[in-house]
Chain A
Amino acid sequence: MISLLAKHPVLRNLFSGLFLFLAGSCSRIDHKQSALDPKGLVSQNQYDVFMLSVWITIFLFCTVGGCLLYVLWRYRAKTAEEAKEIPPQSHGNSMVETGLIIASSIILVILAVPTLQGVVLLNRVPDANDTESLEKLGLDRSQIDGAITVNVTGKRFFWIFEYPQFGIVTANELVFPATKAVRINLRTEDVIHSFWVPKLAGKMDLMPGQENFMWFIADQKKIMGDSDAATAMPAVHDGTMRSKVFAKQKFTDEFEPVGGLFYGQCAEFCGNSHAYMSFRALAQTDEDFDTWVKRFQNAQNPNLQTKSYDPKTSYNKNSFVSFADNKLGAGANREYRSVRKTSPGQSPQVAPGAWEKAHSDDYEKGKQLFSSLQCVQCHAVNRTGLGAKGPNLTLYGLRTSLAAGWMRNDEESLSKWLKNSNEIKFGNLMWNGEGVDDRHPLRNLQDDDEKVNQLIAYLLGQS
């Protein structure tokens, strides 16, 4: 116990200034996953009904508890003799009893009305043609008309986010436009999960064999606060979000969140590593969101993937081709970028001056390792890869978090993760899944810093 006290500053605080400390931490309600700090229409509604119920129950508790205290004080037996007295043996009073029943029914009605309204709100996106309700909710028609749809698939223990309107797939970080409604279709491929971003909306379960629906719409004003859009909602597509999050915010420091960064968590017990099944939702301005979608579409467009060098073609400046480079190993290819217009036949070998390496050697080697170490069997990069076993890693370098929102996505954590993910997330399927045993190359990376660094260069190079 004493060593615990010495080790934990929190406990020391507790003993030194209990009340001050408790009052201080209780007044904070803007924690990462706090439902007391709603930033969207649906969560605001849920918060309002909750606060109504809190006031009702505080009132009831004070009234009934007050009566109880009064009775206990007033009718306590003060002396041993009094304790032996026999008070009048009354058996009840039907007027009082009926009155109390009616009073409690009335109080329930006060809660029942907003409850029913809330049920409808969280189950249905308001009709774009219903101007009256839109006005009541403070929404603009365009916010509904421009709604995006995301198909969320839960897997043990990560999330797949598919945007059917745009034909793109990502994982663990849901990027969405801050001003538009977001329709969420929930599916699961294994057990029950539950999608919960407390600041945006309450939870909804992902039920096997059925598709559930929920929706949310963020409140841009609340996200922005006093700052401008660039500060509150840094762009994801060019890596600003990632660098801002990393620069401003220690992973541990919850009280300086970037406004547009929301934390979510699986809320239905789903197996060994259920606790690790978190995710993030990143709010974007409309333009940034569109740009992000475009980048993703390009990255996942099979027609836009880098092709092998064709000697019969002339390439414009900034064209990408794949061409042999023996330095990387026998038969290995690397990506080249043209620095000027080339004529047919001017391959990187023939005209080295016309081409430059698109990526570092480490990146290229990492790319090879990604295949040869069998990563590619479960992870899709630059393709939608629906049905892949693991999270989609397209544009992975833009992500803020690693391991389903559990760690900061930087070199250090990624290196730890690749070396022994089981130590970080015991029971994760990358380490323990079907067909992974001690012979699997993934389990033999502990002492191989070189390979790990190459993989990191490749993965974080996806930006």
Chain B
Amino acid sequence: MATESIKYLAPDSENKAKTQVFPRPGQHTTGLVDWLTTIDHKKIGLMYGMTALFFLIVGGLEALLIRSQLWDHNMDVLTNRQYNQMFTMHGTTMVFLVIMPLSAAFFNFIMPLQIGARDVAFPRMNALSLWCFVGGGLILNLSWFFTGGSPAIGWFGYAPLTDTRFAEVIGDMGPDFWIFSLQILGVASLLASFNFITTIINMRAPGMTMMRLPVFTWMTLIVSFLIILAFPAITIALVELMFDRTYGTNFYDFLEGGKPHLWQHLFWIFGHPEVYILILPAMGIVSEVIPVFSRKPLFGYGLVIFSGAIIGFMGFAVWSHHMFTTGMGVVATSAFAMLTMLIAIPTGVKIFNWIGTMWGGRIRFDTPMLFALGFITMFMIGGFTGIMHSSVPIDAQHQDSYFVVAHFHYVLIGGALFGLFCGFYFWLPKMTGRMLNEKLGKFVFTLMFLGFNLTFFPMHYLGMIGQPRRTHTYNEGHGFETWNQIATIGAFILGVGIVIGIYQFVTAFFNKKLKPAGKNPWDARTLEWALSSPVKEYNFARTPIIKARDQAWENNYGPRENHAEKEPLDDHGVHMPDRSWWPLVTALGLFGLAMGMLFHRTIDPSGELVRDYTVPILAGSVAIIGMIMWALEGPGGYHLFPKENDE
């Protein structure tokens, strides 16, 4: 690296550095400590991504166990309780520990590069959200090892099945683990979202107006707003549930006047925006990839952004379509049906615009483009079945049948996961500096596309001939066997495809044989492609002055007045912040608090319930001390002096 550095020693911070009790790990930190204390958005993004890929394998194995159990009628691969735990864990894992953090990985890594920023607005808070995510994931999966095993309540944990009154194992702790895990994951998501919103609003490079933002950044912004508006609802729901379970309150206990319906409303007013939280990032990625591989700007940029915002806004007005069969009455049911149909319009608009983008282009079929096209077709099918479900009479038959399972896997695998894999194939050269093997990529796509359709298309039919969702087995004579066997074969093919894909992603960081990528291997359009691959620690040596929407493209092909300029170099150099232990300490404190609360109750020999709050208080203190030290530790930091164009 052609940089030299000096320790940053401005007069006032010199004193601070001397008084620091625990100095921040500085520039030359390496190895494990570097990864544990890093506040670099790129490293945090990578850790988000790698952890999520790990959980993708965990959740995938759970799915394969589920599929094996359904191979034939009355199979004994899993007991009914194990099966119920599997689908609960599979759902929770895939939603909260795979798709959301994979999106967060791209938000972290790509978004600051796209807006010309050196990092996110609150780098240490970014690290805290990463560690909270890891802690939350850990708590959820630790549940396997304690009383009752993992929760067997379904990923939306409908009351009153979650009530201790209806626990099927005495002292079942599964739902408690689930509650605390989701709470901590909620903290992670909320912190990250505030961070991204602040970053996008405040840290755009000069000239990067809102209507010049890359679509992916726009989707980051919209998704972040969705998260901060949706998560409070589930936080409240979970707090109430925790009180019900831990302190015997009666929010959802109908025998004491509680209302199970309340849980459903609170859950879905979070849960439906959550669906868009999962899909909009993938739409953002696809909206970046299709223009690049068609060599044309996005068709109807404004409309795509606006429809994304409309989807986000209306996402809060359709939650009750998950509850058409719960007896809400004619008026509410009809209203939510109509609103749900309306939301199909902005979704359809996006598909039209993607096709419009390709129209008249020069289309290349590289792996990212294949995944983007896979996304469009699969998402279209998922969208169409979604429209069917908006119609109440149809939903009355489809609800909680395999048709619904097919529907949301088309949206979440065919949609979200294909979109995210598209993102990996598209941006990994930027992250690693090496091109991925095209042939292997296309092979992965073929496996995933075939396996996915083989698994989930038959489920439409299975649902229509009456196979209910979440049943650990089925009786002979229903005609379910054949199609379940096809689905199981497909699931294994899909699994192999995903594993090869993950292998490809991970090895890309180490495999020196791969072709170097160069700055802009795809001839792509947005600002991040003006940087070297892999991106330098400081991102931009000089802050760019943005002149047009697709800045990297304009730099190469646009008229002279559209070429980006750069802010002048100053002798101050690039100020880089030091690393910090405190986000990790704070996250550990929260983790300990949750674990302490999980185990604070014991039964003494005389059968009395004893509550011991020592551990939660200690761990909570650690979290608070972490925050205080965080505030007091001072900026530290160092300066880098990159050469003018070394970025």
Contact = CB atoms under 8 A, between A and B. Distances in A.
A93 interface: yes
Interface of B: 72, 79-81, 84, 152-154, 158, 160-161, 166, 168, 254-255, 257-261, 294-303, 325-327, 329-330, 333-334, 337-338, 341-342, 344-345, 348-349, 351-353, 355-356, 358-365, 373, 376-377, 380-381, 384-385, 387-388, 390-397, 399-401, 461, 464-479, 481-483, 485-486, 523, 557
A198 interface: yes
Interface stretch (A115-123, A233-241, A352-360): A115-123
A68 B337 contact: no
Contact of B295 (A86, A92, A115): A86
Contact of B384 (A60, A90, A266, A276): A60
Nearest to B256: A209
A33 B474 CA distance: 12
Given A57-B384, A275-B474, A92 B300 contact: yes
Interface stretch (A170-178, A219-227, A249-257): A249-257
Interface of A: 8, 10-11, 14, 21, 25-26, 28-29, 31-36, 43, 45-47, 49-50, 53-54, 57, 60-61, 64-65, 67-68, 71-72, 75-77, 82-94, 96-97, 100-101, 104-105, 108, 111-112, 114-116, 118-124, 156, 186, 190-192, 194, 196, 198, 201-205, 207-210, 212-213, 250-254, 263, 265-276, 278, 406, 426-427
B485 A122 contact: no
Nearest to B354: A68
A57 B381 CA distance: 9
Nearest to B79: A426
Contacts of A26: 461
A10 B325 contact: no
A213 B485 CA distance: 37
A25 B393 CA distance: 26
Given A203-B400, A210-B261, A272-B81, A124 B330 contact: yes
Contacts of B257: 209
Contacts of A118: 391-393
A202 B397 contact: yes
A32 B477 CA distance: 8
Contact of A87 (B333, B361, B461): B361
Given A14-B486, A57-B388, A89 B297 contact: yes
A265 B154 CA distance: 18
Contacts of A10: 481-482, 485
Q: Among A45, A50, A114, A263, which residue has the most Cβ atoms of chain B within 10 A?
A: A50
B66 to A, nearest CB: 13
B321 to A, nearest CB: 11
A216 B358 CA distance: 50
Contacts of B260: 192, 207-209
A91 B301 contact: yes
Contact of A267 (B168, B259, B393, B401): B401
A60 B472 CA distance: 35
Given A190-B166, A254-B478, A198 B353 contact: no
B339 to A, nearest CB: 11
Contacts of A61: 380-381, 384
A31 B467 CA distance: 10
Contacts of B79: 426
B393 A49 contact: yes
Given A77-B364, A119-B392, 14 more contacts: A10-B481, A32-B466, A32-B479, A36-B464, A57-B388, A90-B360, A115-B341, A118-B392, A204-B396, A208-B160, A266-B468, A271-B84, A278-B475, A426-B79
Contacts of B298: 91
A385 to B, nearest CB: 21
Contact of B348 (A8, A104, A207, A406): A104
A43 B397 contact: yes
B345 A31 contact: no
Nearest to B303: A97
A252 B477 contact: yes
A270 B376 CA distance: 36
B511 to A, nearest CB: 25
B393 A88 contact: no
Contacts of A86: 295, 362, 557
A34 B402 CA distance: 12
A461 B222 CA distance: 68
B325 A269 contact: no
A186 B246 CA distance: 31
Given A57-B384, A75-B359, A254-B479, A205 B326 contact: yes
Contacts of B161: 191-192, 269-271
A269 B362 contact: no
A191 B160 contact: yes
Contact of A265 (B294, B466, B482): B466
Given A75-B359, A86-B295, A123-B330, A104 B345 contact: yes
Nearest to B153: A269
Nearest to A203: B325
Given A75-B359, A119-B333, A202-B397, A97 B464 contact: no
B392 A50 contact: no
A123 B387 contact: no
Contacts of A14: 482, 485-486
Nearest to A11: B485
Nearest to A115: B391
A205 B323 CA distance: 9
B349 A97 contact: yes
B326 A207 contact: yes
A97 B355 CA distance: 12
Contacts of A116: 334, 337
8 contacts: A31-B479, A32-B479, A57-B384, A92-B303, A207-B327, A212-B326, A250-B477, A269-B84
Given A57-B384, A101-B349, A118-B391, A203 B334 contact: no
Contacts of B377: 65, 68
Contacts of A266: 468
Contacts of B401: 35, 267
A11 B373 CA distance: 32
Contacts of A406: 475
6 smallest A-B Cβ distances: which pairs?
A202-B396, A33-B466, A118-B393, A209-B254, A275-B471, A212-B327
Nearest to A432: B168
